[in-house]
Amino acid sequence: MTVNNRNIKIFLIVIFLSFLVFAHPLPAQKKPRIVPVGVARVQELATQSSYSYPGTVQAWATTKLASEVEGRVKAMLFQEGDYVKKRTPLVKLRIDPLILQRRLVRAEKKMVEIRLEELLAGTRTETIEAARSAVAQSEAKVHLAENELRRIKKLFKEGVLSLDEFDKADSQAQAARAELEEKQSVLNELVAGPRAEKIKQETANLKAAEARLQMIQDDINRATIKAPFNGYIVKKETEVGQWLEKGDPAVSMIAAKPLKVEIHVPQFQFNRIQMGASARIIFEHFGPTGGEKVFKGTVVEKIRVGDPVSRTFPVRLKVSRPNSQLAPGMLVRVELKVGKRRDKTLFVPKDAIVRTPRDTSVWIVRQARDKTMKAHKVAVQTGRHEKNLIAVQFDKHKIKPGDWVVVQGNERLKPKMRVKIISRIQ
């Protein structure tokens, strides 16, 4: 009985298994899976060594505007932090004494002009005629005095008149002749006109007056301190009412643009940096938005005096088209290419790199013999960055320039898996 029961159980189990087999047949073989991917070309580029340095933004020019004349500060026309344009008045000094000096010199100049004009015009006819009349009168006096002298001389010889009378007549005759010579000299001078030396003297006096007037006007103009360039006011160096001597600082300001960035490079890289070399200047944003802003830079200064402690040398770069986001004193990061271009290197987009704990690889898409596209895994070592590209090295030359490398969908791939290219990224 026990044996029969056992057989019955076995029979039932066989029937149940048969039912399962016929009721659920084995599934048919699945078709190969095709993964959609996006690809990009492998590029071969000639590159340079690139280094990253911390840098500090500096103003292109920093200046302290000093007073060029002495005087009391009358007005301050700015506030610290203001942006001012070139030639904007910033500080005014009291100029009342200079205005008075200008009036005095103008009056002196006018007097010299009148005298010079009179000299250049020559002697008036009326004046010459008056001088001729005076000469004629002197000639008459001389004629009268000489006749009187001859008469007295005769009487003196006859013993009628004394010696004193003769001497007196002789003196009067000499005085008349001297007066005639004087009048004749005046007439000759008037007829000849002004002397050239006198005209030159008055001309020199006029030029001197004009020069003094220009100097006073220049002092008046310099009594207003103006901005030498477009920039920002950094510090107020004086106050209204303060007396300023020549050279005393009044205001400090910096140029608005361009800006420059100073970096310090090690001595073994200093000589490899070329004047005019290009660089990327990266300003990192902080706060809720985050992100970064990139500017172009050019090496414009290499300072050949290094820090004896750190053995680094200053290099300065001009920032192209800076905006209001950059200000002197800010910290930036500078990516600078040094040395000459090296041999060509293969680059792939950064999205093509697949990193796992075991290896770093990329997926290359090639056409198989059956005309299908398949993915091939290639282990690589990454190198320098060039914008959105990264250099790769590999063994046995498994990657060639122009190969298609997967940049989208590479996380789902397995070796020799069939793929379908749905996008090509240039």
pLDDT band for 26, please (50, 70, 90 cuts): very low
Which is nearest to 268 in space by CA: 339, 343, 334, 341? 339
Residues 280 and 368 in one domain: no
Q: What percent of the chain has pLDDT over 70?
A: 87
Q: Are 408 and 38 in contact (CB under 8 A)?
A: yes
Residues 273 and 199 in one domain: no
Residue 388 pLDDT: 87
Residues 74 and 139 in one domain: no
Residues 279 and 327 in one domain: yes
C-beta atoms surrounding 204 within 10 Å: 11
Residue range(s) defining the domain that contains residue 309: 49-60+256-338
In-domain check, residue 18: no
Residue 3 pLDDT: 45
Sign of CA dihedral 138, 141, 146, 147: positive
What is the per-residue pLDDT across 180-216, written as a single tens digit (0 to 9) for each? 888 888 877 767 666 677 888 888 999 999 999 999 9
Residues 82 and 174 in one domain: no
Rounded to two decimals, the pTM is 0.54
Residues 164 and 261 in one domain: no
In-domain check, residue 70: yes
Among 317, 338, 359, which residue terminates a domain?
A: 338
In-domain check, residue 267: yes
Q: Which residue has the higher pLDDT, 407 or 324?
A: 407
Residue 1 pLDDT: 44
Domain CATH for 399: 2.40.420.20
Residue 2 pLDDT: 47
Domain count of the fold of the chain: 4
Residues 200 and 261 in one domain: no
Residues 143 and 195 in one domain: yes
Residues 371 and 297 in one domain: no
In-domain check, residue 21: no
In-domain check, residue 414: yes
Residues 319 and 359 in one domain: no
In-domain check, residue 4: no
Domain CATH for 269: 2.40.30.170
In-domain check, residue 26: no
Among 290, 311, 338, which residue terminates a domain?
A: 338
Rounded mean pLDDT, 25-38:
69
Residues 241 and 280 in one domain: no
Among 298, 323, 338, which residue terminates a domain?
A: 338
In-domain check, residue 242: yes
Domain CATH for 79: 2.40.50.100
Task: Output the CA–CA distances (angstroms, integers) from residue 234 to 228, 254, 302, 330, in the order listed.
Answer: 14, 7, 27, 15
What is the per-residue pLDDT across 347-402, written as a single tens digit (0 to 9) for each? 999 999 999 888 899 999 998 888 889 999 999 989 877 778 998 988 766 888 98
